[in-house]
C-alpha cells in the first residue's frame, strides 16, 4: 500500500536550527527504510527563498499500521521538527523513470 506523507515544520524561531540538528538522525532512520525498499520518493519542501519548511515522502508499507509504527520512530516527529503530518493513500505510477502497472 502506498502513502504520500506531507509534513510541515514548526515555525518557531528555533525551528530551522532544530531541523538541522536532528537531520543526521532523520537520515539514519530513512536509510533503514530505504534498505527495506519502503521509500519510492522523498525530499524537502522549501519556501520561495529555498529554505526548508517541511518534507514529502511517498512510501510503500503493507498497512497503515506499519506506516504508523515507522512514523512513531521518526526523529522529525519525536524531536518536534514536523508540526503537522498528513498521510494519504496514493498510487505512484512512474517510479525510477519506469511506468508501474
3-class DSSP assignment, residue 57 = strand
Give 16-54 pLDDT, tens digit per residue: 999 999 999 999 999 999 999 999 999 999 999 999 999
**Is pLDDT of 76 > 80?**
yes
Q: What is the pLDDT of residue 24?
A: 97
Cα separation, 28 vs 95, in Å, equals 23
Q: Identify the CA nearest to 57 among candidates 2, 1, 18, 96.
A: 2
**Is pLDDT of 94 > 90?**
no
Give me the CATH topology for the region 2-95: Alpha-Beta Plaits (3.30.70)
What is the average pLDDT across 60-85? Answer: 97
What is the average pLDDT across 52-71? Answer: 97
Sign of CA dihedral 90, 57, 55, 42: negative
Whether the Cβ atoms of residue 58 and residue 4 lie closer than 8 Å to each other: yes
Hey, where are the domains in the chain?
Answer: 2-95
Quickly list H helices, the chain.
Answer: 15-35, 64-73, 75-78
Give the predicted TM-score (pTM) of the model.
0.91
Amino acid at each position: 500500500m502506498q502513502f504520500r506523507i506531507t509534513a510541515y515544520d514548526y515555525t518557531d524561531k528555533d525551528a530551522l536550527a532544530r531541523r538541522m540538528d536532528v537531520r543526521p538522525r532523520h537520515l539514519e532512520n530513512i536509510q533503514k527504510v530505504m534498505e527495506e525498499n519502503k521509500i519510492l520518493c522523498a525530499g524537502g519542501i522549501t519556501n520561495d527563498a529555498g529554505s526548508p519548511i517541511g518534507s514529502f515522502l511517498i512510501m510503500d508499507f503493507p498497512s497503515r499500521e506499519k506506516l504508523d509504527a515507522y512514523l512513531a520512530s521518526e526523529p522529525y516527529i519525536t524531536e518536534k521538527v514536523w508540526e503537522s503530518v498528513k498521510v494519504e493513500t496514493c498510487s505512484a505510477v512512474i517510479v525510477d523513470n519506469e511506468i508501474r502497472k
